[in-house]
Amino acid sequence: MTRPSIEDYPYVIDITTRWMDNDVYGHVNNVTYYSYFDTAANTFLIERGGLDIHGADVIGLIVESACSYHAPVAFPDQLRAGVRVDKLGNRAVTYGIGIFAEGSDEAVANGHFVHVFVERESRTSTAIPARIRAALETIVR
């Protein structure tokens, strides 16, 4: 499997590993990468799309996710997470996300997840809000 490059992702943030990210095998546990994915995508939505995670009438819920692992990392490694949009629909978006060790342009892990946008109260699917859609369009690949 080809490891993605940092250049494949138009939005990149720093991620700090935590002591609790390591498992008994001495590396970041597989499930932790999903937390990194969620952090990276939601940071983008908050910073660029104006998402109000506490008060917005429309929120994104994850309905699908997957991750491939290429190389181990461990606390106290510094990481970068790259985010792109692989598919943008009317009510859902598929993100491509890569995790990179500091100083390396090859992903240690990569994957995707799908947000479906819903009304906060009813959990009924709805159109992606205009400001969020405009932000997402800037990172479509």
What is the residue extent of each domain of the chain? 6-137
Contact 93, 44 (CB under 8 A): no
pLDDT tens digits for 60-107?
999 999 999 999 999 999 999 999 999 999 999 999 999 999 999 999
Partnered with residue 61 across adjacent β-strands are: 116
Number of other residues whose CB lies within 10 A of the CB of residue 64: 11
Let me know: does 126 contact 119? Beta carbons within 8 Å: yes
User: What amino acid occupies position 64?
Assistant: E
pLDDT at 2 over 90: no
| % residues pLDDT > 90 (the chain) | 99
Q: Is the pLDDT of residue 1 over 70?
A: no
Please name the fold of domain 6-137.
Thiol Ester Dehydrase; Chain A (3.10.129)
Q: Which residue has the higher pLDDT, 2 or 14?
A: 14
20 pLDDT exceeds 70? yes
